[in-house]
Structure formats: C-alpha cells, structure tokens
Amino acid sequence: MKSLLRVALATTIALGLLQFSTSASADDRRENDRYADDQHGDDSHRWQAPCQTSASNLFKACQLDVSADRNTLQAACKHIADYMDRKACESEAREQYSEGRNECLSQVQSRFEVCGLLGEYRYQDPISDPALTFINPDDVPSVYPANPYVSVVAGRTLLLRGGEDFEERVVIHVTDEVREVQGIACRIVWDIVMIAGEDDAGNVEYEPVEFTQDWFAQTDVGDTYYCGEAVQDYEDGIVVSLDGSFEAGTDYANGGFLTKAFPVAGSTHRQELDVGDAEDLVQYLDLAAVPSDEEGGENPAFSCVPGGCLKTFDFSTLSPESTEYKYYLAGTGFVLALNLEDGELTGEREELVCAGDDLSVLNTPGCGLEDPEVVRDLICQLVPDALCED
C-alpha cells in the first residue's frame, strides 16, 4: 500500500512540476517576464504560488543531489578490482539512490502540506516586522517579562536525560553573553549533548555528541526569537559535521519565533527557514495538557498537574518521519519530549532532571550526576572560553 501511495504521490508531484518546465522557450518567457517585472518593480499581475514553487524547486534539487551521489559512488565502484566487491558497491549505489529518491518524495510532500497549513505566502522573517520591539536580554526579567517557556535570563541551567536507555545527558546553559544578529542582541545559549558510559577502569565518562551554540532574542511582550545556531556534531571526540548551522540574514537564511509567550492552541509557525538546511516548525496543540498513559505518563520530577503544560508538536520538512511532542511547564520551561516515527510513539523520551540559576546546580543531588566534575571537565575542555572561568 505504501509503495502505491508513493507512486501516486510521485505522479501528482510530477504533474505539478510540469508548470516549471525547463525547456529553453519556457525559460525565455519567464526571463522576459522577470525583466518586465524588474522594470516596473511589480509582479502582482502574474499568479504566484511561492510556497509550492519553492517546494517544487527543492524537490528538483534533491533529485539532482541524489543522482550526483549515485554517479559519484558508481564512479568509485569502477576502480574496485574484485568482481564481488565491485558488484556489492554498485548494489549499495542503487540502494542509496532508491532511499534518496524516497526521501525527496517525503520532503516535498511535507513541504506541500506546510503550504496548505500556513498558506501561499512569502515567508517574512519576524525580525523585519516594524511592529515588533526586540529588547536587550539583560533587561529580562527586571524590566520586561520573561518568556514562560524558553529563558534568556543569564545563568539559567537545565539538565536533561534522553536516549533509548536514558544514556544521554543534555546540559542547557544560558550565558551572560550576547551576539548581534541583524542589529538585535541575541543571547548565547549552549546546548550540550553527551553520552554517559564507563572507561576500562569502571569510572564514569562522557562522550560528546553535539555542542550547539544557540542565539535567542526576545521581544518586549515575551516572544522568544530564534536568531540562529552554530552546530558541532562529534564522533569519537572529533567534529564531523556543522550541518544545521545558520544565522538569520546570512545567505538568505531566516529566523523565526522559537516559542510565543502567549501561544494560541491550533496555531502553527516556522521557527526557522534556511531552505534545505534548517526548516523547523512548531504547532501548539494544548495550553493545559498532561502527558497521557499512552505517552508514558508525566515526568516524575516536574509534574504538569494541576495547571497543565503547554504541549507542542515539533517537526521539520527535512525529516518529516521524525517528530516530537514537547511539554513546557510555565515558569520552568521544557520538561518532557516524546519521540515519534511516522506518527507513532517510539517510547523514547527526553526528561528535565533538574534546573537552576547557574552551572553549580549540576553539583546538587537533585541532578543525580554520579560525577558532575567529569561533566564540567568535558564542557570546559571543548568550550572553555564560553563556560569556564579558568
């Protein structure tokens, strides 16, 4: 059934892409139209579907990338002397090509769905809205109210646990530093993911997985804006990828609201839009939710009862099969995330373990770290200037 649906989807998309013909005559006509529009500073006389057009362009780009990867791998296969190894390499190229095409289809379907959800409009970065007033994060909460769900208050520190067996530890720390992005002050927040384990002697050790420097700004009414992020993915202690990094206003990347201070149930908005690299969205499902038994129940350390938590549905058009439900407790912030694959709960959770006003909270019994100094040592080793005094 899924294969039939994919064929139907592929046919629908192919038909939809016919309007974007790449023939020389069609290109000439569009170029003439664009030239006329440039002369008059207006293209309103022509029907526009910017969201679907963007999705279609990205679909074609994805197909070209997949084909290029297949051809590159096939070229490498030709140099393998052993016949069986060469055939195995060619089989791998075909398999990767098939998986890549399916991923392209999933992404374009998700993008078209977002177009239907948000409407056919050109996305405008909220930072360009003259009606919004962005403030200095140092004035929160003394002058302006804090966002109840995502903090920009210096010192705020959270410890989370996650992974299939809760082997991951995540430290989120709001620094007292700011980074200027498009003229606004964005608070630097570190999001540090580690895997807990033991060395040969049985001592606890932590291996870095991802170190991300997030940049958050806030408006005078408390909405938290996402200025961008610098991502470092690790394998065996070595940085292997910077994928997902972006800065609003650079290379056509756009920021967005991370979390509204007063969200409306049922509403959806982009959190970022750097096409092809960062395409996260959030939908507000419930303003007073409590995790159900089917979801595994509440976070035992931070209950949503009695007032309930904000529940969101977080997703990305880059990986539409992997989504999350998130719960936020007003005044505390994030308390729980539930992973979904193809719309089904996987049972994997991420929970807030402890929270405090500075990094010293990691030393408290409530955080449950067997050796908090090992965590601090790893953080100081990788980002000494940001988080360590000496």
- The pLDDT tens digits of the residues spanning 169-213 come to 999 999 999 999 999 999 999 999 999 888 888 888 899 999 999
Q: Which pTM was predicted?
A: 0.87
292-328 pLDDT tens trace? 999 999 999 999 999 999 999 999 999 999 999 999 9
pLDDT at 43: 60
**Secondary structure of the chain in the HEC alphabet?**
CHHHHHHHHHHHHHHHHHHHCCCHHHHHHHHHHHHHHHHHCCCCCCCCCHHHHHHHHHHHHHHHHHHHHHHHHHHHHCCCCCHHHHHHHHHHHHHHHHHHHHHHHHHHHHHHHHHHHHCCCCCCCHHHCCCCCECCHHHCCCCCCCCCCCCCCCCCEEEEEECCCCCEEEEEEEEEEEEEECCEEEEEEEEEEEEEEECCCCCEEEEEEEEEEEEEEEECCCCEEEEEEEEEEEECCEEEECCCCEECCCCCCEEEEEECCCCCCCCEEECEEECCCECEEEEEEEEEECCCCCCCCCECCECCCCCCEEEEEEEECCCCCEEEEEEEECCCEEEEEEEEECCEEEEEEEEEEEEECCHHHHHCHHHCCCCHHHHHHHHHHHCHHHHCCC
> What rounded mean pLDDT belongs to the chain?
90
**pLDDT level of residue 382 (50, 70, 90 thresholds):** confident
67-101 pLDDT tens trace? 999 999 999 999 999 999 999 999 999 999 999 99
141-161 pLDDT tens trace? 999 999 999 999 999 999 999
333-374 pLDDT tens trace? 999 999 999 999 999 999 999 999 999 999 999 999 988 999
